[in-house]
């Protein structure tokens, strides 16, 4: 069977499964809708958290980034897993004991302030929409590449599926579909990785395989071979980083604190029955995440090696079939700079500007011509990093069913994250904005109806973002983590670990962190992008890492303001004392 037919079958089957789960787990109350009634088994919550957290970016893009950046890719690997240690030790158990529905709930109650609650609602909505735009786009890309439907139609189908289980099932529906989606996505990620690891090294586990010797008879370690090849071709050695230590440090810290402060992750820990379950559930979640995150760098190394092997010094006519397919979609391009009819893959950018602009004509060998300036380097290949995971099974010539599986996995990753984000947006509107602020006399039934309405509206807006992607999506993702790190993380942490922490300190801390982070990122990303180089950055910190500085400022301002303003009321102090212990002794 062709890969396309198989993809239709796999995608159809998985979508059928998600719908069946949604019908089985409908929500009947607001507690069901917001936190799945608080009855989720910690193991199931671990799998759901992993699917919730691992987005189209983790699944589709991360291995590609590492394949081309090598050692520098570690900031994502450590940043996006290390945050779970902070979450498990410093936030999750106490927030579970607090036992409400949302993050703005905690901020509003702990700081006895409607202003703080509203600031939190705004941050939640902004962070979540930033994130969701990328997910819907990911759904569209998978559909258009593998099923040859229009990107817009693909986004539409994705919206329909999410609509079904998020609006009907709320958190309950989302949780159990996320468990299924985790199984689909991890299976789809590991199968090709294991295949390729066996092909290159005879070692079945990819996370061990990429530290083993090659089976081509040379007896060389895979990474030594890759380091040698990359240097020979004038590229940075795969295992050497190019980023400065300071920048790596700050970016990793921002990603860690941002992960711990992201509302759609935090809220998953409201769904388990007890404090003890919240702790262990974070452990399960990290095991599930680590399975993919320790495989990703292996996939990256394998892919880089396979690409050099398949393409370098090969005549265009003799290039593998996948090359022309991805060339047609505009994600690969070749310029025959030295007119020898062969592809030279070297260091440096092939084109200027970096992304190809196709002229619509074909060259002497049949390649798509570009109208870009050719860069100074001898490199003739442009390759989009996002295709690595999707194209790798074809590059390694794996069977069609593996190719189809990867597409279904990509959809599972994007849809599960989108659903989690939508729920956070909908509860911020119906629960925090309406029920707790504007319309306090809502009945349970009315609130549930509003939750469904706001989920539906949020899906429509998210779909529009997917169909008409704003040009700044990639830029604002740095915002999401920076903001979470500079706003929520310090305020929640101090709210638990200091009984003296008051509303004045929280608001001034959040504001100073937010203002610093927002203005630094906007300056370098929007106002003066031409200055976005290390020599103009403060202390060599890139906009990606500035959230860490925002977080430190937030802590500093809060700790000073706290000492010169009145302490919080007795009732709040008692609340903090209560969330610090799992159960009051009888």
Partner 1 sequence: MSQEDQRQAETESSAARQPDEPVGVSDEAGHEAYWRANVRTLLSLLLVWFFVSFGCGILWVDALNEYSFFGWKLGFWFSQQGAIYTFVVLIFVYVFKMNALDRRFNVDEDR
What is the contact surface with partner 1 in residues (CB under 8 A)? 66, 71, 73-74, 77-78, 81-82, 84-86, 88-90, 93, 207, 210-213, 221-224, 239, 241, 245, 248-249, 252-253, 256, 274-276, 279-280, 282-283, 286-287, 290, 293-294, 297, 497, 577, 580-586
Q: Which CB, 120 or 223, lies closer to partner 1?
A: 223
Three-state SS at 397: coil
What are the residues facing 373 on neighbouring strands?
352
Q: Which CB, 73 or 509, lies closer to partner 1?
A: 73
In the bound complex, what is the minimum distance in angstroms from residue 39's beta carbon to partner 1?
15
Q: Which CB, 272 or 404, lies closer to partner 1?
A: 272
CA 396 to chain centre: 26
DSSP, residue by residue, 11-72: HHHHHHHHHHHHHHT---SHHHHHHGGG---HHHHHHHHHHHHS-HIIIIIHHHHHHHHGGG
In the bound complex, what is the minimum distance in angstroms from residue 500's beta carbon to partner 1?
14
- The answer to whether 87 and 265 are in contact (CB under 8 A) is yes
Q: Which CB, 247 or 367, lies closer to partner 1?
A: 247
In the bound complex, what is the minimum distance in angstroms from residue 118's beta carbon to partner 1?
31
Surface-to-core class of residue 101, CB atoms within 10 Å of its CB (0-12 exposed, 13-18 middle, 19+ buried): buried
- The answer to whether 270 and 106 are in contact (CB under 8 A) is no
Q: Which CB, 15 or 84, lies closer to partner 1?
A: 84
Q: What are phi and psi of 27, to 5 degrees?
A: -95, 135
CA distance 293 to 66: 11
What are the residues facing 368 on neighbouring strands?
362
Q: Which two tokens stand for residue 2?
A: 């062709």
In the bound complex, what is the minimum distance in angstroms from residue 399's beta carbon to partner 1?
28
In the bound complex, what is the minimum distance in angstroms from residue 283's beta carbon to partner 1?
4
Q: Which CB, 248 or 389, lies closer to partner 1?
A: 248
In the bound complex, what is the minimum distance in angstroms from residue 211's beta carbon to partner 1?
4
Q: Which CB, 82 or 513, lies closer to partner 1?
A: 82
Q: Which CB, 211 or 353, lies closer to partner 1?
A: 211
CA distance 320 to 299: 20
In the bound complex, what is the minimum distance in angstroms from residue 88's beta carbon to partner 1?
5
Handedness of CA 501, 480, 207, 222 (dihedral sign): negative
Q: Which two tokens stand for residue 122?
A: 């705004």
In the bound complex, what is the minimum distance in angstroms from residue 37's beta carbon to partner 1?
17
Burial 526-546 (b: 16+ CB within 10 A, else e): eeeeeeeeeeebeebbbbbbb
Q: Which CB, 33 or 80, lies closer to partner 1?
A: 80
CA distance 387 to 404: 15
In the bound complex, what is the minimum distance in angstroms from residue 497's beta carbon to partner 1?
8
């Amino acid at each position: 069977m062709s890969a396309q037919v198989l993809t239709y079958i796999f995608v159809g089957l998985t979508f059928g499964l998600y719908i069946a789960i949604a019908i089985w787990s409908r929500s009947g109350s607001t507690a069901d809708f917001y936190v799945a009634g608080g009855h989720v088994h910690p193991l199931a919550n671990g799998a759901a958290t992993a699917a919730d957290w691992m987005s189209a970016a983790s699944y589709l893009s991360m291995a590609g980034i590492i394949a081309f950046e090598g050692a520098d890719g570690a900031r994502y690997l450590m940043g996006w897993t290390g945050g779970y240690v902070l979450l498990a030790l410093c936030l999750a158990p106490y927030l579970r004991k607090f036992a409400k529905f949302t993050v703005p709930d905690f901020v509003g109650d702990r700081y006895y302030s409607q202003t703080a609650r509203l600031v939190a609602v705004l941050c939640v909505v902004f962070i979540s929409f930033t994130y969701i735009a990328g997910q819907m786009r990911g759904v569209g890309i998978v559909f258009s590449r593998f099923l040859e439907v229009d990107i817009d139609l693909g986004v539409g189908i994705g919206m329909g599926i999410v609509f079904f289980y998020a609006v009907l099932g709320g958190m309950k529906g989302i949780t159990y579909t996320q468990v299924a989606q985790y199984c689909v996505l991890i299976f789809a990620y590991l199968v090709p990785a294991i295949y390729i690891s066996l092909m290159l090294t005879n070692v079945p586990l990819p996370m061990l395989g990429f530290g083993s010797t090659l089976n081509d008879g040379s007896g060389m370690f895979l990474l030594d071979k890759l380091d040698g090849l990359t240097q020979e071709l004038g590229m940075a050695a795969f295992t050497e980083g190019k980023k400065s230590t300071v920048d790596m440090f700050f970016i990793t810290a921002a990603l860690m604190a941002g992960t711990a402060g992201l509302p759609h992750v935090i809220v998953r820990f409201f769904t388990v029955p007890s404090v003890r379950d919240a702790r262990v559930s974070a452990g399960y979640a990290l095991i599930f995440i680590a399975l993919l995150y320790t495989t990703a760098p292996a996939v990256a190394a394998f892919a880089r090696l396979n690409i050099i092997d398949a393409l370098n010094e090969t005549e265009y006519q003799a290039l593998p079939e996948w090359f022309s397919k991805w060339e047609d979609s505009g994600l690969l391009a070749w310029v025959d700079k030295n007119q020898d009819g062969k592809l030279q893959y070297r260091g440096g950018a092939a084109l200027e500007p970096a992304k190809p602009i196709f002229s619509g004509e074909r060259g002497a060998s049949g390649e798509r011509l570009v109208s870009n300036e050719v860069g100074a380097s001898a490199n003739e290949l442009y390759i989009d990093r996002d295709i690595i995971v999707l194209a790798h099974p074809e590059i390694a010539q794996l069977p069609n069913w593996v190719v189809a599986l990867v597409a279904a996995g990509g959809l599972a990753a994007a849809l599960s994250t989108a659903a989690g984000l939508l729920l956070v947006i909908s509860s911020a509107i119906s629960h925090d904005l309406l029920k707790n602020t504007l319309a306090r006399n809502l009945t349970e039934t009315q609130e549930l109806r509003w939750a469904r309405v706001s989920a539906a509206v949020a899906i429509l807006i998210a779909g529009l973002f997917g169909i008409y992607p704003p040009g700044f999506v990639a830029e604002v993702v740095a915002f999401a983590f920076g903001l979470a790190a500079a706003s929520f993380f310090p305020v929640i942490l101090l709210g638990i670990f200091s009984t003296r922490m008051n509303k004045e300190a929280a608001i001034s801390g959040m504001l100073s962190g937010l203002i610093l982070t927002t203005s630094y990122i906007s300056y370098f990303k929007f106002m003066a992008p031409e200055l976005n180089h290390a020599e103009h950055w403060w202390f060599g910190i890139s906009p990606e890492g500035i959230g860490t500085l925002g977080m430190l400022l937030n802590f500093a301002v809060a700790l000073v303001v706290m000492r010169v303003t009145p302490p919080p009321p007795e009732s709040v102090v008692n609340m903090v004392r209560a969330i610090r212990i799992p159960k009051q002794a009888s």
